[in-house]
Amino acid sequence: MKKSIRSKIMLCVMLVVGFAFLASAIGGTEYFLRVLEQHIVLEEEQKQEQAAKQIAYIQNNIMSLAKQIVVDDEIQDCMKMQRDEEIIDRLIKASSIKETLRRYINQ
C-alpha cells in the first residue's frame, strides 16, 4: 500500500515534533534535578553551620561555667572537705554549693 505524500509529511512532522518534545523533557528533567540537588546541598550546609554554631555556643557556656567553678572558693573548699567532718556540716556545704551552681547555671 502506497502512502500519500501528505501522510509521509505528517509522519515526518510528528516524528520531529515527538523527538523535540522528548529532548525538551529530558533536558528539563536534567535541569530540574541539578537545581534540586544544589538546593538540597545548600540547605544541608546551612543546617550543619547552624549546628556547629550551637555546639560552639554550648562549649563556650561550659567553659565559662567551669572557670567560675574553678575560682569559687566555696566550691573548692567543699572539694577539699575531709571525710571526718560532721555530717551536718557536709550537708550544709553541699546545699550551699548547689545554690552557687544554680546561680552560675541561671546566669
Q: How confident is the model over 52-58, as a mean pLDDT?
A: 96
Contact 105, 65 (CB under 8 A): yes
Residues 38 and 77 in one domain: no
Question: Into how many domains does the chain fold?
Answer: 2
Residues 19 and 52 in one domain: yes
What is the domain range of residue 15? 1-62
pLDDT in tens, 7-54: 889 999 999 999 999 999 999 999 999 999 999 999 999 999 999 999
Answering whether pTM is above 0.85, one says: no
13-17, 50-54, 77-81, 92-96: least confidently modelled range: 77-81
Residues 10 and 53 in one domain: yes
Residue 67 lies in a domain: no
Residues 56 and 76 in one domain: no
Residues 17 and 46 in one domain: yes
Contact 96, 75 (CB under 8 A): no
